[in-house]
Amino acid sequence: MNGPDLHDFLAPVRLSAVQQLIDLMNRVKVADLTTPEVLGLVAVFECADARTNAGMAPELVLAPRNGEVRP
């Protein structure tokens, strides 16, 4: 199954999944998330960000311990 086929296959559940995501975002606060949960969410949003050719937010750029930021 290729990407477009998968998209078409999942289209019927997309609206309910988006609504569930919105509901969860309204109930779950970032302060309540564990570090692995935050990192998982960042990974998912970075994938979507890269797919849509948006630039990475500066605060998401990994920085070495000495504070030097590399693009």
Q: Average pLDDT for residues 27-49, to the nearest whole number?
A: 91
| pTM, two decimal places | 0.55
Comparison of pLDDT for 59 and 6, the residue scoring more: 6
> Who's near 46: CB < 8 A, 6+ residues apart?
56, 60
Mean pLDDT, the chain, rounded, equals: 80
Percent of the chain with pLDDT over 90: 34
Backbone φ, ψ for residue 70 (5° rounding): -115, 135
What confidence score (pLDDT) does residue 32 get?
A: 94
